[in-house]
Structure formats: C-alpha cells, structure tokens
Structure 1
C-alpha cells in the first residue's frame, strides 16, 4: 500500500514536470518574441524546471534518509528486545538447571540413606536369623 502511494506520488511529480516543460515550450513558441528573447526564455524556464527537479530530488533523498534511519532505529530496538528476552530465558534456564542439580543431589543423598538402611535391615535380619 505504501509502495503504491510512493509510485503514485512519483508519477504525479514526473507528470507535473513533463507537463510544465511541454506547456512552457508551447507558450514560448507561440509568444511573439525574437529568437534571442525566445532562447533566453527557454533557458530561463529550463533553469527554473531544473531547480524544481533538484528540489524534488533533495526532498526525495531527505525522505529516503528519514525512512532508512527509522528502519535502523526500529531494527536496533527489536535487536535489543530480542537480546533482553534471550538473557531472561538464559537466566531462567540456569536457575532451573541449578534447582534440578540440587534436587538430584538430594535424591542421591536420600538413595544412599535408603541403601544404608536396607543394608542394615538385611544385616539385622541375618543376625537375628542366625540366633534362632
């Protein structure tokens, strides 16, 4: 949609400039003037049109620069947001990993205690059985 507006504006400006040139030439050719005056008028109109075209190009360059700068600012903002989210996810993952390691250590410790208790139970059973 934005591109269509840009193309329409560009077409209108080009049409305006072309129409101005054609109109100026026709006006000059039908005006009752000497050749020297006619050439001076054509040169003057040409310079005027050249000035208008240069102004249009300067505005177009300025607008393009603004659009490029806006795009850069948006992309930098998105990159910063993505980095911040990635850092948050990494931090959360580290906390989860740390908690999992702690739980694994607790489970291992409890398994060791259970193993010792079972071993002690077996030893007690054997000693009691041997007494009977």
Structure 2
C-alpha cells in the first residue's frame, strides 16, 4: 500500500517538475527580452517552482502519514477485537471441558455404584 502511493506521488512530483520547467523555458525563450532579463526570469521561476515542489511534497508526506496513522489505528483495533474474541473462545472451551469432566465423573460414579448390583444379579 505504501509503496504504490509512494510511486504515484513520485511520478506526479516528477511530472509536475518537468512540466513546470518545460513551460517556463518555453515562455522565456519565446519572449523578446535581453539575456540578463531572461536569466533573471529563469532564476525566479526556478525558485517559484522549487517552492511549489516543496509544498507538493509536504502535502504528499502529510497525506501518507495520515494514511499510515489510520492503518495503524485500525490494526490496533483489530488486534484488541481479536484478543477479546480469543479470550471468549478460550473461556467457552474451558467451560465445556469442565462440564465434560463433571459428566464423565458422574457417569463413572454411577457405573461404580451399579457394578456391585449387577454382579449380585449375575450371581443370583
């Protein structure tokens, strides 16, 4: 997830810079002015584009951090829910085992009580 978003942001960022530079260069080369004025405009446009690129990168970074925080929060919630479900399941299993032990003990006790009577009937 993070890798895909990073690639998309990187591609957008690169396209943004290339497009800005090409547009700025074309505008400066086609405008009638002196070389000094052209160089100054190129420098100013470069500073402007750098600022925009930094803003775009900061926005992308903030969005990525927000998504990462949301994913982390959801993962923690799922972990807590899973733990609760697991504990409930373990409790139910322990109760079932205890009930089975009691039923088995009662059945054994009943058979032990019936055994002497059955032996007496068999001898008679």
Q: Which residue of 2 aligns with 1:53?
A: 53
User: Would you say the 8 A contact 2:13–2:53 is kept in 1?
Assistant: no
Aligned residues: 120
Shift of 1:33: 2.5
> 1:18-68 deviations in whole A, cap 9, x for unaligned?
222112112112323322222111111001101111111111111111111
In structure 2, the gaps of 5 or more residues are none
- What's the secondary structure of 1:33's corresponding residue? coil
Q: Normalization by structure 1: what TM-score?
A: 0.78
Distance between the aligned counterparts of 1:41 and 1:114, measured in 2? 108
Q: Which residue of 1 aligns with 2:17?
A: 17
- What's the secondary structure of 1:109's corresponding residue? helix
Q: Which residue of 2 aligns with 1:39?
A: 39
In structure 1, the gaps of 5 or more residues are 126-132
Shift of 1:122: 4.6
Corresponding position: 1:76 with 2:76 = yes
Q: Normalization by structure 2: what TM-score?
A: 0.83
CA root-mean-square deviation = 2.3
Matches within 5 A, 1:101-120: 101-120=101-120
Q: Which structure has the larger Rg over C-alpha atoms?
A: 1
